[in-house]
């Protein structure tokens, strides 16, 4: 699903279907826009920013050269994509969780999902080794903090789609040894672990499978965070219930703003996740943020499917991609804005407090649908500016930026080690 075809993929998946907490400070007396912009940039440099979901690995693997090496060098400024080192430094991004994305279609090929996961991890480790002054792997909160102090951008790892585990609990331990620190239990289709939110027809498991419950317990045992993004509602409830430690939703926004879009998380389930100490990390895709953009994507999908049926072409082929691009030129995307991301943060804070919300942008995973003001990793200060305008304290913003997910990560580590 990544950059060039990301919106098309989201369209294909989509078939399926404020007041803040008491810990907030009073809004300051109207500082100037310039003062707030400078303050937000300084804040982004000072606090650690951990983004729960950045799709760089699959973006790179889709563009390999003839010798199997990425054709883009993310240690330098790149012409495409949402992430590279210079822009990360500009935006203050310190700890992107690099998504080890496993397409659901690989589930039909035994061994293919695990092999792809290992190859993507290999690639990220190689990039870090090649630019040791810029990048470093982060296998713990302590390493992430130390890398930040050393002026390096950390690559934390999260597997997007538990199909990489195949049918073996031993692979949970294997991926922990490889540095994976969260696993999204499924993706766009039901797998051997869990039902998926996009698969709104007949549920395979009515939540988690028996094996999925074992997987959650094993993740708890070895120290991998359970990620409930992409899960069906019943699966989220069951994952939280089975887990002995808090869970995360690494890149999910609030369904309150997009009724009927199950990929986003409901108010009820936000409360369920928070009650266990977990964190909901807000996705920046416009279709996740506003009903107008979500409806637009559904309408685009209808038009695309009509084109596919009329022409008899493959849904993922070049003709369909050209049709989608033409449609988007003729019918401009109603982009969300950075203020909409702040609205979702506000909503979580109103429901469950400042300790249970974070950032999970989906940069390089939602393609051109990113909101105005948050088009790449250089623009986190724009979000901080809006939050400052709304009266969030710098301590509040630090929790949203990394403090909350670091707390869960440390709790999961401590549970596994018995500390």
Its pTM stands at: 0.91
* pLDDT averaged over 10-residue windows placed end to end, the chain, 419 residues: 47 40 43 84 98 97 89 96 98 98 95 98 98 98 98 98 97 98 97 92 93 98 98 98 98 97 97 98 98 95 92 87 92 96 98 98 94 98 98 98 98 92
* Complete DSSP assignment for 309-346: HHHT--TTSHHHHHHHHHHHHHS-----BHHHHHHHHH
Question: Helices (H), strands (E): how many in the chain?
Answer: 17, 9
Q: How far apart are CA 25 and CA 20, in angstroms?
A: 10
pLDDT at 9: 53
CATH numeric code, 3-290+334-417: 3.20.20.140
Q: Give helix 338-352 / helix 380-389 axis angle, nearest 10°.
A: 60
Closest to 48 in 3D by CA, of 393, 376, 402, 381: 402
Q: How many other C-beta atoms can be found within 10 angstroms of the C-beta atom of residue 303?
A: 15
Closest to 93 in 3D by CA, of 122, 56, 139, 121: 56
**Beta carbons within 8 Å of 316's beta carbon, 6+ residues apart:** 5, 8, 12
């Amino acid at each position: 699903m990544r950059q060039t075809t990301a919106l098309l993929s989201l369209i294909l998946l989509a078939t399926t279907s404020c007041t803040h907490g008491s810990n907030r400070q009073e809004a300051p007396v109207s500082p100037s826009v310039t003062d707030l912009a400078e303050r937000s940039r300084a804040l982004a440099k000072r606090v650690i920013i951990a983004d729960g979901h950045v799709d760089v690995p699959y973006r790179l693997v889709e563009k390999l050269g003839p010798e199997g090496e990425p054709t883009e060098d993310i240690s330098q400024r790149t012409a495409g994509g949402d992430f590279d080192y210079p822009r990360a430094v500009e935006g203050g991004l310190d700890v992107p969780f690099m998504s080890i994305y496993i397409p659901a279609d690989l589930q039909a090929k035994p061994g293919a999902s695990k092999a792809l996961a290992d190859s993507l991890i290999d690639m990220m480790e190689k990039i870090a080794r090649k630019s040791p002054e810029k990048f470093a792997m982060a296998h713990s909160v302590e390493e992430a903090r130390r890398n930040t102090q050393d002026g390096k951008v950390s690559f934390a790892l999260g597997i997007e789609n538990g199909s990489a585990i195949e049918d073996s609990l031993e692979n949970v331990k294997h991926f922990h040894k490889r540095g994976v620190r969260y696993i999204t239990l499924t993706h766009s289709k039901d797998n051997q672990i869990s039902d998926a939110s996009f698969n709104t027809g007949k549920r395979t498991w009515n939540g988690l499978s028996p094996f999925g419950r074992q997987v959650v317990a094993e993740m708890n045992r070895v120290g991998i965070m359970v990620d409930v993004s992409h899960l069906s509602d019943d699966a989220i409830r069951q994952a939280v219930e089975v887990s002995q430690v808090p869970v995360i939703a690494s890149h999910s926004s609030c369904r309150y703003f997009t009724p009927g879009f199950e990929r986003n998380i409901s108010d009820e389930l936000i409360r369920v996740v928070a009650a266990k100490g977990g964190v909901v990390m807000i996705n920046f895709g416009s279709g996740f943020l506003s009903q107008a953009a979500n409806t637009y994507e559904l309408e685009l999908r209808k038009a695309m499917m009509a084109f596919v049926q009329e022409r008899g072409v493959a849904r993922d082929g070049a003709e369909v991609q050209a049709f989608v691009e033409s449609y988007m030129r003729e019918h401009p995307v109603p982009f969300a804005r950075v203020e909409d991301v702040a609205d979702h943060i506000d909503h979580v804070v109103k429901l469950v407090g400042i300790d249970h919300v974070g950032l999970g942008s989906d940069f390089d995973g939602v393609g051109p649908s990113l909101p105005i003001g948050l088009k790449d990793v250089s623009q986190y200060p724009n979000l901080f500016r809006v939050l400052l305008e709304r009266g969030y304290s710098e301590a509040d913003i630090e929790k949203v930026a990394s403090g909350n997910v670091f707390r869960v990560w440390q709790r999961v580590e401590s549970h596994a080690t018995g500390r």
